[in-house]
Structure 1
């Protein structure tokens, strides 16, 4: 019996999904490794990532006519202030959350992204989501509650602090706001996600820059370099690698949305979440108890159920009223994925 053959399109989809998953996993674990083994420099670390991403966008534009860098326009910049502010605040909370929780727990800490996106979209559009959408959000919320519920079978070092969970919830909330603001921001960038990515990275770096100095991180860096035996190479290489992979992840997300269906994209995200948990347990010796395992499973099931709902045929107007992602072409977040 002849074996089935893969056509070129299937191979392209498989390659894009693998590229997307690999880039996302590298971002999480290199970020975690640097934040765990370097001095407390989260804002400076994030600033370097943003600068590297902007540099790579300009380098790509120099070699490809498909990458268009916008000219600076003060009017456009003012109109994009809301989306840029929401983006950088979400990234900061995202980084702080990853710094303070185990890599395997990161999926749980940010488990409210989908429910909060639905809530923010419904409030923004003044519409009521469909019952099955509410049910999907409820499943994910239950998964989050299971993951953060106190248990006695975890060592003290593995129990996340209330502050770290607060960071995770705020990160999820600002990602939800960012997803909604993308719709109103794209027209100011000629409906180009690349141009919006440039404005977002440049604007985020500008807004973050003074806070890096207010937090005193450059002086901490100099003190560590000159007054201690700190190995600066971990921080330097980590900044470079995450900056490059942050840029690649943006490209991977665009490609994944372009060549795959929403269901395939979400299945790859679910598979990545499972791999992320397993790698966290093996590489960082994170503790995975029954509560956390069940929590991650429930969150993934709820998210996949929501994606299945989206894939079902529906009347155009009904689908648009009840789908919080109907007009959202790209959701992104630097530490894990641009989502």
Structure 2
């Protein structure tokens, strides 16, 4: 597999390229999903197609010798049931949220990720937070409340799916940390298991949702043109789904939670602009204020975490990268020897 050194890149250049690749892939993924859902409103079938294409492409990278995929094992799959359950639920509510709200409001509807992350870190992991972190959560909540209450025609169902999405995203970070041990702390193995098992889990959901029947009916009414449009939408979103997986793997390998939060904030701004220019979303003053507060709270959280790390105190964030987990294990070993 290519590394920064054999590509002639410095560590700083590798981080910049990794974060840029992740942000671009994630933005294109949201845009393509919105376009595909505007073409045909079948969110579960669309997710299923994305996962299928991602698994196929991961298999191609294995055959080409770019990445080594693991052999699926029953004991590992059993240990990853919590991760797969949260992943399928999270992807579902993310997409359903995008069905009911426009691209620029998507940032607000899913704006409670940080407060829920801090809550679950305390209730599930026993990790307390500083006053500065709690203040950042309050600012984020005010941004969410301002954005939601300032809208007149916004879908309440979309907001509901956005809140559930915030909860699943927060829990996802915790479950990923616990799940890495099942795959010997290999991020790429976890990516492959996550996609392959989620694809299996989502197959019965697609049939139970009735979306397959809807697609067949649409084909009968509009002929091959509708079939080609759906295949094109599924293929393009599947490609970008694969790229987001790959970008997420690279970001996990090369960056820290602070960098992750900063890139997420920048992505939120770009996503809002994309909704305005590409999809004609209306940016009201209340919506704009809500987005600014959410991003401002995220920036304050990043500052607080950076301040904690510089002071060499034990950070209260959830380790989200392999680097963090390795660092925690090293510290425990040092303390054990002491």
TM-score bin (small chain): 0.7 to 0.9
Contact 2:115 2:140 in 1 (8 A): yes
Q: Shift in Å at residue 188 of structure 1?
A: 0.5
* TM-superposition CA deviations, 1:198-245 (whole Å, max 9, x none): 111111111111111111111211111122356333321221112111
Cα distance in 2 for residues equivalent to 1:12 and 1:71: 30
- Of 169, 172, 180, which aligns to 1:178? 172
Cα distance in 2 for residues equivalent to 1:120 and 1:97: 22
Partner of 1:56: 57
* TM-superposition CA deviations, 1:113-169 (whole Å, max 9, x none): 1111111121111343222111111111111111101446xxxxxx22111110010
Q: Shift in Å at residue 16 of structure 1?
A: 2.7
Contact 1:262 1:311 in 2 (8 A): no
Distance 1:301 1:49, change over 3 A: same
| Structure 2 residue ranges without an equivalent (≥5) | 1-8, 323-338
- Of 11, 23, 26, which aligns to 1:24? 26
* Greater relative contact order structure (CA < 8 Å, 6+ sep): 1
Partner of 1:143: 143
Cα distance in 1 for residues equivalent to 2:267 and 2:71: 36
Note the 1:174-323 alignment, pairs <5 A.
Answer: 174-228=168-222, 231-260=226-255, 262-314=257-309, 318-320=313-315, 322-323=316-317
RMSD: 2.1
Distance 1:12 1:194, change over 3 A: closer
Contact 1:147 1:296 in 2 (8 A): yes
Cα distance in 2 for residues equivalent to 1:270 and 1:295: 13
TM-score, normalization: structure 1? Answer: 0.86
Cα distance in 2 for residues equivalent to 1:284 and 1:102: 8
| Structure 1 residue ranges without an equivalent (≥5) | 1-6, 153-158, 331-339
Q: How many residues align?
A: 313
